A and B are shown apart, each in its own frame.
Chain A
Amino acid sequence: MKKIHIALIVLIAILLGVIISTVSESGTYVSFKTATEKPDRTYHIIGKVNLQKEFIYNPEKDANVFGFFMTDTIGTEKRVLYNGTKPQDFELAERIVVVGKMKGDDFIASQVLMKCPSKYNKTGEEEGGEWSNGSQRPQ
């Protein structure tokens, strides 16, 4: 057996590791309902910000908690508490993705991804915006 064959076998083994670890570490897009059922797991939730309800942000009390109400894709609304500052132009976000877990009746988010509208897009296409990162987690 050539050494190259051994190397190839090791390579394939590591590749399997890559696939398995990625799949097992990968998040899942769910609704608030699923997240409520499994409060110990971290999920990605896509939804819309309820702009009718007031944002909760008292930087003078705590600069690192920003709260808002969000409706997921099937229509459940929950309060989201994001561990960070209020992202720039959060009011303009059309759709957002929050990453975190449920605690009681609140969703505790460690990351918030916003999709801002391209304001001149008259057709209102789905893809007509750019995503920007609202969260800067320490690495």
Chain B
Amino acid sequence: MGIQYLNEHLMFGKIGNAFVVLSFTASIVAMLSYAFQVYRNEEESLSWNKLARFSFFIHACSVFGIISLLFYLIQSHYFEYYYVWQHSSTTLPEKYMWACLWEGQEGSFLIWTVWHVVLSILLVWKGKKWEAPTMMFIMMIQVFLASMLLGLQFGDIKIGSNPFILLRNHPDFANLPFIHLPDYLAKLKDGRGLNPLLQNYWMVIHPPTLFLGFAATAIPFAFAMGGLVTRQYREWVKPALPWTFFGIAILGIGILMGGAWAYEALSFGGFWAWDPVENASLVPWITLVGGAHVMLIYKKNGTSLFTAVMLLAVTFILVLYSTFLTRSGILGETSVHAFTNLGMTGQLLLYMLFFIVLTIVLLIVHRKAISNPTEDEALSSREFWMFMGMLVLLISAIQITFTTSIPVINKVFGLKMAPPVDAIDFYNSWQTPLAAIIALLIAVSQFFKWKQSDWKSVAKKLALSFIIALVVTIVFQISVGFARVQHIILFMTSLWAILANLDYLIRVLKGKFNFSGGSVAHIGIGLILLGALVSNAKKEIISENRLNVDLGKDFPNKENILLYQGDTLAMGEYYVTYKGKEKEGIHQYYEVEYLKANHNAGGFTKEFSLKPFIQLNERMGNVSEPATRHFLHKDIYTHVTYAEMDNKNQVDEKGYKEPKKHLLAVGDTIVVSNSLFVLLEIDKAVDKKANALNENDIALGLKLKVTDINKKDYFIEPLFIIRGNEKITVPAEIEKLGLKFDFTSIDTQANKFEVSLSEKKSNSRDFIIMKALIFPGINILWIGCVLMFVGTWIAIRKQISDLKREA
């Protein structure tokens, strides 16, 4: 008989485990049944469809069952479950409960699975003849994803990680003595909790959106593969198009939400830092955009089918690769926010390799049927320029992937390459020119007609927007100005992209809403590029520390500035004051006030105040979060980069802090907070009577000159006395300056003398180290995001209505 543990709720775990197993087996049955439906004759396929739908229904119910149960366990704080203990705590605000669900790997696989199921319901319901071929592949993906939750161990091989594992069975806990007490739960008190860095509303909305985007890339992939296996090589493109645009819209918004989060709450100092995890989600979006454009070429023109299939497959595989990068722990040393390794690297690798091999085999088998007709596209055709755009996107994707994959390349080839020293600059130096070419193509492509167009008329139509863009760029360059040529070029081309699309919308489409999707989305992209460029290239650090001694070219960074409580410093057009701090729960807020000089009346008027904070979290470490003041044309970002946390320095009864030791030779000068002091000479003939010393004492004195900030000099002499075997020191104090000098030791070899200097605590005022940045025009970027999203939705509607019209 084992130990009877108290207060456990094991029932839920048992049901949960049943769901995990059921979702896995049902996905296998559904996959096989759909495969039989595809490959068997008409009559049989109907009964296979019934079985397939039934097992999909079971799979869907189990997946929803798992996520509901897990959420219920988190809500109820059942810490006997490791996942609940690891990712939540009783002190966590209600609004972050969802975030706990997907903080861990298991939960993030789960949310991904859930989205596949949700999208699959649409496929089953509306897919008609495409139900079986697409669902066959979706279920294949689900088999792999469901296996990620199995948590089976065969010797060294681990299949999946189970979210319902009990705390007392987890390897981290199983060997701890307290875990074998019947009332171990009472001793546990609280869960480890959600990482404070992630306690943010973005954590509630960003991961599910991103995973919906990831899930959405599987659908066009399934259409393309389904088209191959059913030999409906051409028919799949049209029904897949709305899904592709859906993926672009959702994944795009998911990525940008991550950027907004980084910008607003994390101290990246910008919205995009080319972090490997960010890159890993951006790359599939780029290839999906490429894929969608090639699909449009095919829809109009009947060419480039092979490329379309390939890009959709590449997109899906890149999504898997991104999961592999972030979850295998391989990024370890290069990324700010990679997941920890759960020992599933092999499984993730297998997952990815399976789909790579499957895609390659299918592409080879069916290559003849989907290869291009041999005719060449005209240079003056729209499809040619769209195809070029796709190639540029591909280059961009490859450059990002290659650089991000350095740790993988190291692993495979046994190298020891580190990421580029200035990674952000390296990425920007590649991506800025590529973005400029993309912007150029966005501007001009749609003015070309399909098949062939008249060069002169294209040029005529483009002239107006080009001239405006050129004039604005010249004016901007003269008045504000960029330092780098590539910035000027990107400014001009993205501006042209916006104007040309606006022009197209007004003059060519005449504002027809249904057809406006492309133009609106492209204006959005243009604005995103423009906003990213201006806010980044014209970013201004106003907290620059001009007072510091120049430390030379080795220390170029002066962006952090010290601000004493009550002091006011000029920063940019503002004067900034640190008003004080206050504690609210686990947040230590610092009030930073922005003032403007009042020229008429003199003095300052308050403009606004910001409260950046440091989250105090004993268990996970302190996290500092910036505060930002938003204006229409700029944001002022304020971040406390360092502050002395609580009062670590104990004071003695007279108010002195712990002494600091200084080793000096004669002539040395030391700077302290409110003065400086020099060791003038060693007094070997100390007046014993005046200092009430014994006749036999050996005494040494240090003659010190202390100069305060008002250039007033004080002369003092702390003593070092040897009385028999005893060492006695007589410290010297300057009340007025709150300084106490103690002569504590002698280094006879180096001829140096140790002074222990204590300062009164009241000497040091509270201060913060902060930095303040101005991001101009960041709102252009956010408006661009909205337009990109809206435009893509209009395009989805258009594609769906095209489909309906044909049916």
B623 within 8 Å of A by Cβ? Answer: yes
B340 pairs with A130, CB closer than 8 A: yes
B420 pairs with A27, CB closer than 8 A: yes
B164 within 8 Å of A by Cβ? Answer: no
Interface size class for chain B?
A: 35 or more
Residues of B close to A19: CB separation below 8 A: 402
Residues of B close to A29: CB separation below 8 A: 416, 418
Knowing A29-B418, A103-B554, the reply to whether A3 touches B384 (Cβ < 8 A) is yes
CA distance A95 to B187 in the complex (A): 31
Contact check: which of B384, B549, B556 meets A62 at CB < 8 Å? B549
Contact check: which of A11, A116, A133, A136 meets B621 at CB < 8 Å? A116
Residues of A close to B482: CB separation below 8 A: none
A76 within 8 Å of B by Cβ? Answer: no
B623 pairs with A14, CB closer than 8 A: no
A59 pairs with B767, CB closer than 8 A: yes
Of chain B, the residue at the smallest CB distance from A26 is: B417
A3 pairs with B395, CB closer than 8 A: no
Residues of A close to B418: CB separation below 8 A: 26-29, 43-44, 99
* A-side interface mostly: mixed
A22 pairs with B333, CB closer than 8 A: no
Contact check: which of B333, B557, B673 meets A83 at CB < 8 Å? B557
Knowing A128-B340, A130-B340, the reply to whether A18 touches B399 (Cβ < 8 A) is yes
Number of A interface residues, CB 8 Å?
Answer: 62
Interface 1/0 per residue, B411-443 and A, CB below 8 Å: 000001111111011101010000000000000
B333 pairs with A3, CB closer than 8 A: no
B399 pairs with A122, CB closer than 8 A: no
Knowing A3-B376, A25-B426, A122-B175, the reply to whether A63 touches B541 (Cβ < 8 A) is no
A61 within 8 Å of B by Cβ? Answer: yes
A15 within 8 Å of B by Cβ? Answer: yes
Of chain A, the residue at the smallest CB distance from B558 is: A64
Interface 1/0 per residue, A50-64 and B, CB below 8 Å: 000000000111111
Which of B398, B418, B767, B769 has the most chain A CB within a 10 Å cutoff?
B418
CA distance A59 to B620 in the complex (A): 25
Contact check: which of A3, A133, A138 meets B557 at CB < 8 Å? A138
A138 pairs with B621, CB closer than 8 A: no
B619 within 8 Å of A by Cβ? Answer: yes
Of chain A, the residue at the smallest CB distance from B536 is: A139
Knowing A28-B416, A108-B555, the reply to whether A137 touches B424 (Cβ < 8 A) is yes
B417 pairs with A86, CB closer than 8 A: no
B632 within 8 Å of A by Cβ? Answer: no
Chain A residues numbered 5-59 whose CB sits less than 8 Å from any CB in chain B: 7, 11, 14-15, 18-19, 21-23, 25-29, 42-44, 46, 59
A84 pairs with B557, CB closer than 8 A: yes
Within the complex, what minimum Cβ distance (angstroms) separates A46 from chain B? Answer: 7
CA distance A97 to B407 in the complex (A): 15
B388 within 8 Å of A by Cβ? Answer: yes
Contact check: which of A64, A129, A137, A139 meets B548 at CB < 8 Å? A64
Contact check: which of B376, B388, B402, B623 meets A88 at CB < 8 Å? B623
A3 pairs with B377, CB closer than 8 A: yes
Contact check: which of A3, A18, A25, A120 meets B420 at CB < 8 Å? A25
Of chain A, the residue at the smallest CB distance from B343 is: A127
CA distance A89 to B64 in the complex (A): 40
Residues of A close to B549: CB separation below 8 A: 62
Knowing A11-B395, A15-B395, A130-B340, the reply to whether A63 touches B421 (Cβ < 8 A) is no
CA distance A4 to B334 in the complex (A): 37
B673 pairs with A86, CB closer than 8 A: no
CA distance A36 to B421 in the complex (A): 18
Residues of B close to A89: CB separation below 8 A: 621-622
CA distance A110 to B556 in the complex (A): 9
A22 pairs with B420, CB closer than 8 A: yes
CA distance A136 to B262 in the complex (A): 13
Within the complex, what minimum Cβ distance (angstroms) separates B451 from chain A? Answer: 14
CA distance A92 to B769 in the complex (A): 21
Chain B residues numbered 734-780 whose CB sits less than 8 Å from any CB in chain A: 767, 769, 771
Within the complex, what minimum Cβ distance (angstroms) separates B370 from chain A? Answer: 15
Contact check: which of B394, B419, B555 meets A27 at CB < 8 Å? B419
Within the complex, what minimum Cβ distance (angstroms) separates A76 from chain B? Answer: 17
Of chain A, the residue at the smallest CB distance from B337 is: A130
Interface 1/0 per residue, B601-644 and A, CB below 8 Å: 00000000000001000011111100000000000000001100
Can you name 16 extra interface pairs (CB under 8 A) apart from A63-B769, A85-B560, A139-B270?
A: A4-B377, A22-B403, A25-B426, A26-B418, A26-B420, A28-B418, A60-B562, A83-B554, A83-B555, A88-B623, A119-B619, A121-B172, A122-B173, A122-B176, A131-B332, A139-B428
Closest 9 CB pairs of A and B: A27-B418, A44-B418, A89-B621, A127-B341, A85-B641, A85-B642, A25-B420, A83-B557, A63-B560
A→B interface (CB under 8 Å): 2-4, 7, 11, 14-15, 18-19, 21-23, 25-29, 42-44, 46, 59-65, 81, 83-86, 88-89, 92, 97, 99, 103, 108, 110, 113, 115-116, 118-123, 125, 127-133, 136-139
- A-B residue pairs in contact (CB < 8 Å), sample of 22: A3-B379, A11-B394, A11-B395, A23-B417, A25-B421, A26-B406, A29-B416, A44-B419, A59-B767, A60-B767, A62-B545, A62-B548, A63-B642, A83-B557, A84-B557, A89-B621, A97-B333, A119-B620, A120-B172, A125-B341, A127-B340, A139-B428
B→A interface (CB under 8 Å): 171-173, 175-176, 192, 195, 197, 267-270, 329, 332-338, 340-341, 376-377, 379, 384, 387-388, 391, 394-395, 398-399, 402-403, 406, 416-422, 424-426, 428, 430, 536, 539, 541, 545, 548-549, 551, 554-562, 614, 619-624, 641-642, 671, 673, 767, 769, 771
